[in-house]
Structure 1
């Protein structure tokens, strides 16, 4: 048995995997099945010829607040050529990240179809393009939140992947989600979805609070926890 239960503690043993000895596909499956849930960026870009592209990415997150940096991991095509998103960002230095909620999840999945470059994914998905205010590419009206970004830095990881860092220059947020006095986003109302492994997705409809403790609070709580554990 690979993961036997430890007889004394009830804990299961770990399987150790050497990433140098497994294939790229196996590494991919382990990573996307372990780093979950991942937020989804539905990225809109515009080619200099005016063609708009929309594509979802789950290798995505927020890396910094000052400067405000979002990160995308974009895999190249099978022939190692750039995907439309990467090419458009390189040519224009701009992109917009649209947050995916439950309401536009099916439309997001349409945007994942590998259409030819001349096809407008937003039109295929029934989504509405709104002209950007600080960038030349549009944001999506139906998205609950959108971040207009200027390219901050691009990192090439070998031949297969580009890491694109974007500095947020403007944000659009649906008014019912935003508390203007506290600068607070109503995360339950946001109803964002996340990417799991395989074809799986998750919701954010069940949440809980766990405040970070001060040293003093931990010191006061520690004896009680030790007695309970004993």
Structure 2
């Protein structure tokens, strides 16, 4: 993992080249013979390790430590590459958010977490709350660099579409464009927002949760099955967010049937 202070270009050049041809493969689970009551598959090794208790609000602990801990420990995280448009239609925005997840299917609901208060909403949140619309685009391997470029701290009014070189495709229900390069995109309508206050500085607004309903799905034709119910992982090749500046690939998977009582 790259460490702050190191020469990133030098570190990057020393690493193996990206193997584009690497396909998603399925393996057996660690213990194919596991049965109910067996517990962990490591033979009890994890029980010999102790844990460190951390109070997120202990005296002297900086809130940035909680941020670093959470983004390095809660992994991998899906990334919502959100495209939005201002209410007057004059400004477009494209930005990635890894505080994101699907939370329901009837109706299709998604959550996205934004850092900072509504009063000082950055581009994506400002557009989302004022227009009530957005598109959630899923990031795949073939445009990860372009997606990362949209995280730039450009001033409001500067379009990350131009910075990334990604292509706008028309949406059906919302005004914001979807990313043509994305294997899967979701047109969304804002359901509600919830603002949160700091525990360290009472009264200070530190984040906003947005609940978004998916009103249209777009999936590339070579990635969807005949009844439009399954996205092919081997085509999607999703990119996830890890700690620091790290991203993850999905190149290996395993299947375990859901148990029945």
Matched residue of 1:214: which SS?
coil
Higher helix share: 1
Per-residue deviation, 1:76: 2.1
Asked if 1:53 is matched to 2:53, the reply is: no
State how far apart, in whole Å, the 1-side matches of 2:81 and 2:239 are. 12
Q: Which has the higher contact order (CA 8 A, sep 6+)?
A: 2
Counterpart in the other structure of 1:133: 172
Please tell me whether residue 112 in structure 1 is matched to residue 118 in structure 2: no
Give the equivalent residue in structure 2 for 1:225.
none
Corresponding residue to 1:166 among 212, 226, 250: 212
Q: Deviations over 1:65-103 (max 9, x none)?
A: 1111011001127x9611111111111000110000011
The CA deviation at 1:126 is 0.8
The 2-side partners of 1:40 and 1:52 are apart by: 19
1:186 has 2:232 as partner:
yes
Q: Which runs of 5+ in 1 are unaligned?
A: 1-8, 216-230
CA–CA separation in structure 1 for the residues paired with 2:74 and 2:257: 23
Residue of structure 2 in register with 1:83 after alignment: 122
Contact 1:80-1:160 within 8 A present in 2 as well: no
Alignment of 1:179-218 (within 5 A): 179-181=225-227, 183-215=229-261
> Displacement of 1:131 after TM fit?
2.0
Which stretch shows the higher mean deviation, 68-77 or 193-202?
A: 68-77
Q: Which residue number in structure 1 is paired with residue 112 of structure 2?
A: 72
Distance 2:132 2:84 in 1: 10
- Corresponding residue of 1:18: 55
Question: Which residues of structure 2 form unaligned runs of 5+?
Answer: 1-43, 198-204
C-alpha distance in structure 2 between counterparts of 1:176 and 1:164, whole Å: 31
Deviation at 1:182, TM superposition (A): 6.2
Partner of 2:72: 33
- The DSSP-based 3-state class of the residue aligned with 1:184 is coil
Instruction: State the match for 1:94 in structure 2.
Output: 133
TM-score norm. by structure 1 comes to 0.86
CA-atom RMSD in angstroms: 1.7
Q: Structure 1 segments of 4 or more deviating over 2 A?
A: none
